[in-house]
Structure 1
Amino acid sequence: MALIIAGERSGVGKTTITLALLSFLARKPEKVQSFKVGPDYIDPMFHTEVTGRSCRNLDPVLTSPDYIRHCFLRHCQGMDYAVIEGVMGLFDGVCLEQRNDYASTAHIAEILDVPMVLVIDCSRLSGSVGAIAQGYANFNPNLNLAGVVLNGVGSDRHLELLKVALDRIQIPILGVFRRQEKIALRDRHLGLIPTEEVETFPEIQDRLAEIAQESFDWEQVLPLLKAPQKPVPPLWDAIPAQTPVRIGIARDRAFNFYYQDNLDLLKHLGAELIPWSPLKDTSLPPDLDLLYFVGGFPEVFAQELSHNKEIMKELHRRITNGLVTYAECGGLMYLSQSITDFAGETWEMVGVLPTAIKMAKRLTLGYRQGIFASPHRLLPPNTQLWGHEFHRSQMETPSPSPLYQLEDFYQNQTQEGWQIGAVYASYLHLHWGTIPQFPQQLIQLGQASTNVKL
Structure 2
Amino acid sequence: MALVIAGERSGVGKTTVTLTLLASLRRRDRLVQSFKVGPDYIDPMFHRHVTGRACRNLDPVLTSEAYVQQCFTRHSQLTEYALVEGVMGLFDGISSFAKDKGQMTNDKGQITDFASTAHIARLLDLPVVLVIDCSRLSGSVAAIAHGYRSFDPRIKIAGVVLNRVGSDRHLSLLQDSLEPLQLPIFGVMRRQDNITIPDRHLGLVPTAELPELNALIDRLADLGDTCFDWQRLLPLLKSESLSPPTSSSLSPSLPVRIAVACDRAFNFYYQDNLDLLQQLGAELVFWSPLEDADIPKDIQGMYFGGGFPEVFAQQLAENSSVRDAVKTAILKGMPTIAECGGLMYLCEQIIDFEGKSWSMAGVLPTSAVMGGRLTLGYRRAVALQDNLLVKANTTVYGHEFHRSHLTLTPTQPLFETSRYDCEENMGCEGWGLPANIHASYVHQHWGESREIPQQFLKQCLKVASSATWI
Fold match by TM threshold 0.5: yes
Q: What is the rounded CA distance, in whole Å, between the counterparts of 1:25 and 1:332 in structure 2?
A: 39
Code of the aligned partner of 1:418: W
Question: How high is the sequence identity, in percent, across the aligned residues?
Answer: 55
The corresponding residue for 2:182 is 170
Offset of residue 439 of structure 1: 0.6
CA distance 1:382–1:233, change in 2 (3 Å): farther
Q: Identify the match of residue 426 of structure 1 among 436, 440, 457.
A: 440
Offset of residue 343 of structure 1: 1.1
Confirm whether residue 440 of structure 1 aligns to residue 454 of structure 2: yes
Q: Deviations over 1:387-412 (max 9, x none)?
A: 00000000000111211110103322
- For residue 63 of structure 2, what is the aligned residue in structure 1? 63
1:288 maps to which residue?
299
1:302 has 2:317 as partner: no
Alpha-carbon distance in structure 1 between the residues aligned to 2:307 and 2:154: 38
Look up the SS of the partner of 2:458 in the other structure: helix
1:135-150 to structure 2, matched below 5 A, reads: 135-150=147-162
Query: Equivalent residue for 2:243?
Result: 231
User: In the TM superposition, what is the alpha-carbon distance from 1:234 to its structure 2 partner?
Assistant: 3.6
Task: Identify which range, 258-267 or 21-30, moves more after superposition.
Answer: 21-30
State the AA in 2 paired with 1:3: L
In structure 1, the residue matched to 2:105 is none
Q: 1:420 to 1:232 in 2, by over 3 A?
A: farther
Show the 5 A alignment for 1:190-201.
Answer: 190-201=202-213
Ranges in structure 1 where 5+ consecutive residues have no aligned partner: none
C-alpha displacement of 1:29: 2.5
1:109 counterpart = 2:121 = yes
- Give the counterpart letter for 1:123 in structure 2: S
- How far off is 1:384 after superposition? 0.8
In the alignment, does 2:359 pair up with 1:348?
Answer: yes
Contact 2:388 2:432 in 1 (8 A): no
Shift of 1:377: 4.7
Q: CA shift at 1:382, angstroms?
A: 1.2
* CA gap 1:146/1:412 in 2 versus in 1, 3 angstroms: same
Please state whether the residue corresponding to 1:176 is helix, strand or coil: strand
Alignment of 1:453 onto 2:464: no
**SS at 2:432's partner residue?**
strand
Cα deviation for residue 452 of structure 1 reads 1.9
Report deviation, 1:266.
Answer: 0.4
In structure 2, C-alpha distance between the alignment counterparts of 1:398 and 1:381, rounded to whole Å = 19
**Structure 1 residue matching 2:74: 3-state secondary structure:** helix
For 1:192 and 1:373, locate their aligned partners in 2 and report how far apart those are by CA, in whole Å: 35
The question of whether the paired residues in 2 share the 8 Å contact of 1:70 and 1:232 is answered with no
- What SS does the corresponding residue of 1:230 show, helix, strand or coil? coil
Shift of 1:30: 2.3
Query: 3-state SS of the aligned residue for 2:467?
Result: coil
Give the SS at the match of 2:366: coil
Q: Is the 8 A contact 2:388 2:437 kept in 1?
A: no
Shifted more, 375-384 versus 2-11: the winner is: 375-384
**Which residue matches 1:267?**
278
Pair 1:404 & 2:411 matched: no
Structure 1 runs of 4+ aligned residues shifted over 3 Å read 232-235
Shift of 1:28: 1.5
Written as runs of structure 1 = structure 2, the 5 A alignment for 1:299-338 is 299-338=310-349
- What secondary structure does 1:411 align onto? coil
Matching residue's letter, 1:92: D
Note if contact 2:21-2:224 (Cα within 8 Å) is conserved in structure 1: yes
The equivalent residue for 1:416 is 429
Aligned to 2:164: 152
Q: Return the offset for 1:117.
A: 0.2
**Equivalent residue for 2:23?**
23
Secondary structure in structure 2 of the residue aligned to 1:110: helix
Q: Does the CA-based 8 Å contact 1:403-1:416 persist in structure 2? A: yes
2 CA distance for matches of 1:173 and 1:388?
36
* 376-385 vs 48-57, which moves further: 376-385
Distance in 2 separating the partners of 1:232 and 1:407:
40
CA distance in 1, matches of 2:149, 2:242: 28
TM-score when normalising by structure 2 = 0.95
Other structure's SS at 1:150 match? strand
Distance 1:232 1:400, change over 3 A: farther
**Structure 2: any 5+ residue segments left out of the alignment?**
98-109
Cα distance in 1 for residues equivalent to 2:167 and 2:322: 56
| TM-score (norm. length: structure 1) | 0.98
Q: Report if aligned partners of 1:127, 1:162 keep a CA contact under 8 Å in 2.
A: yes
Is residue 2:138 matched to residue 1:123?
A: no
Q: Which amino acid aligns with 2:90?
A: L
CA distance in 1, matches of 2:444, 2:334: 21
Could you give the per-residue CA deviations for residues 348-401 of structure 1, whole angstroms, max 9, x where no partner exists? 000000101100100000000011012335322211111000000000001112
**Alignment coverage as a number of residue pairs:** 453
Q: In the alignment, is the contact (CA less than 8 A) between 1:403 and 1:415 conserved in 2?
A: yes
After superposition, the CA RMSD in angstroms is 1.0
SS at match of 1:291: strand
Aligned counterpart, 1:87: 87
